[in-house]
Amino acid sequence: MTNFEFYSPTKVIFGKDVVSMLGQEAKEFGGKALLLYGHESIRKNGLYDLIVKQCADAGIELVEHSGVSPNPVLSHASEGVRIAREAGVEFIIAAGGGSVIDESKVISAGTANDAPLWDLVSRKAPVEKALPIVAIQTLPATSSETNQVGVLTNKETNEKFSIKSPLLVPAKAFLDPQLTFTIPKKYSAYACFDIMSHMLEGYFTMTADFAPAHEGFVEGLSGAVKISLDRILKDPEDYEARANVMWVAMLAWNGIAKAGLEGAALPNHMLEHPLSAVYDVAHGAGLTIVFPAWLEYRKKEIGGRILRFGEKILGMDGLADLSEEAAVDKVIAAFREWLSSIGCPLTMREAGVENPDIGELVKQALTLCEFWGIKGYSADDLEAIYRLCL
For residues 227 and 280, state if they share a domain: yes
Question: DSSP H helical segments within the chain, as ranges?
Answer: 22-26, 41-44, 47-57, 74-87, 98-112, 117-121, 185-205, 212-234, 239-252, 267-279, 283-298, 303-312, 324-341, 358-372, 379-388
For residues 168 and 204, state if they share a domain: no
SS3 302: coil
For residues 146 and 202, state if they share a domain: no
Phi, psi at 185, each rounded to 5°: -60, -45
For residues 231 and 369, state if they share a domain: yes
For residues 191 and 174, state if they share a domain: no
374, with CB counted inside 10 A (0-12, 13-18, 19+), is: middle
Number of domains making up the chain: 2
For residues 225 and 118, state if they share a domain: no
Q: How far apart are CA 288 and CA 347, in angstroms?
A: 8
Q: Does residue 266 belong to any structural domain of this protein?
A: yes
Cβ neighbour number for residue 390 with a 10 Å cutoff: 14
Q: What is the CATH number of the domain that holds 43?
A: 3.40.50.1970
pLDDT in tens, 336-364: 999 999 999 999 999 999 999 999 999 99
pLDDT string in tens for the chain (390-residue length): 999 988 889 999 999 999 999 999 999 999 999 999 999 899 988 999 999 999 999 999 999 999 999 999 999 999 999 999 999 999 999 999 999 999 999 999 999 999 999 999 999 999 999 999 999 999 999 999 999 999 999 999 989 999 999 999 999 999 999 999 999 999 999 999 999 999 999 999 999 999 999 999 999 999 999 999 999 999 999 999 999 999 999 999 999 999 999 999 999 999 999 999 999 999 999 999 999 999 999 999 999 999 999 999 999 999 999 999 999 999 999 999 999 999 999 999 999 999 999 999 999 999 999 989 999 999 999 999 999 999
The secondary structure element, H or E, covering residue 62 is strand 61-65
For residues 283 and 353, state if they share a domain: yes
* DSSP state letters, 208-276: -S--HHHHHHHHHHHHHHHHHHHHHHH-TT-HHHHHHHHHHHHHHTSSTTTTT-TT---HHHHHHHHHH
For residues 125 and 209, state if they share a domain: no
Q: Does residue 4 belong to any structural domain of this protein?
A: no
pLDDT at position 158 is: 87
For residues 141 and 216, state if they share a domain: no
Q: Does residue 143 belong to any structural domain of this protein?
A: yes
Pair 197, 36: CB distance under 8 Å: no
Q: What is the CATH number of the domain that holds 372?
A: 1.20.1090.10
Q: Which of 134, 162, 179 is the last residue of a domain?
A: 179
- Domain extent, residue 299, equals 185-388
Pair 273, 158: CB distance under 8 Å: no
Q: Does residue 335 belong to any structural domain of this protein?
A: yes
Q: How far apart are CA 134 and CA 13, in angstroms?
A: 11
Q: Which of 129, 158, 179 is the last residue of a domain?
A: 179
pLDDT in tens, 57-102: 999 999 999 999 999 999 999 999 999 999 999 999 999 999 999 9
> Can you give the length of the chain in residues?
390
For residues 235 and 362, state if they share a domain: yes
Q: Which of 131, 150, 179 is the last residue of a domain?
A: 179
